[in-house]
Amino acid sequence: MENTKTIAKARQGLHGTIEIPGDKSISHRSVMFSALGSTPVHITNFLHAQDCLSTAACMKALGASVEFESETALTVCGHGLHGLKEASTIIDAGNSGTTLRLMMGILAPQPFLTTFTGDASLHKRPMGRVIKPLSAMGAKIYGRENNTKLPITIVPAESRLHGMVYESPVASAQVKSAILLAGMYADGPTTVVEPFTSRDHTERMLEAFGVETRKEGTAVTIEPVDSFRAPEAIEVPGDISSAAYWLVAGSVVPGSSLLLKNVGVNPTRTGILDVLKAMGASVTLENERVSGGEAAADIRVEAAKLHGTSFGAEIMPRLIDEIPVIAVAALFAEGDTVITGAGELRVKETDRLQTITDEFNKLAPGSVEASEDGLVIHGGTKVQCANCFSYDDHRMAMSLAILGTAGEGAEIERPDCVNISYPAFYGTLARLQA
pLDDT of residue 1: 46
Prediction pTM value: 0.87
User: Please, which residues have CB within 8 angstroms of residue 340's CB and are 6 or more apart in sequence?
Assistant: 310, 311, 312, 313, 371, 373, 374
pLDDT of residue 352: 93
Element (H, E) at 258: strand 257-264
Given the residues 321, 351, 373, 393, the one annotated as active site? 321
**Any catalytic annotation for residue 321?**
yes
Q: Read off the pLDDT band of 2 (50, 70, 90).
A: low
Q: 291 pLDDT exceeds 80?
A: no
Q: 115 pLDDT exceeds 70?
A: yes
Q: 345 pLDDT exceeds 90?
A: no
Question: What confidence tens digit (pLDDT) does each residue in 406-425 have?
Answer: 999 999 999 999 998 899 99
Query: Cβ distance 379 to 339 under 8 Å?
Result: no
124 phi and psi angles, rounded to 5 deg: -90, -15
Average pLDDT over residues 125-135: 96
Q: Kindly write down the DSSP assignment for every residue of 23-61, as one continuous string.
A: PHHHHHHHHHHHTTSSS-EEEES---SHHHHHHHHHHHH
Question: What confidence tens digit (pLDDT) does each residue in 71-114 have?
Answer: 999 999 999 999 999 999 999 999 999 999 999 999 999 999 99
- Rounded percentage of the chain residues whose pLDDT exceeds 70: 99
pLDDT of residue 69: 98
Average pLDDT over the chain, rounded to whole? 96
**How long, in residues, is the chain?**
434
Query: Cβ distance 38 to 228 under 8 Å?
Result: yes
Q: Read off the pLDDT band of 292 (50, 70, 90).
A: low
Question: What confidence tens digit (pLDDT) does each residue in 40-79 have?
Answer: 999 999 999 999 999 999 999 999 999 999 999 999 999 9
pLDDT of residue 347: 79
Report the DSSP pairing between strands 294-302 and 310-311. unpaired
pLDDT of residue 344: 86
Report the DSSP pairing between strands 149-155 and 140-143. antiparallel
Average pLDDT over residues 327-336: 98
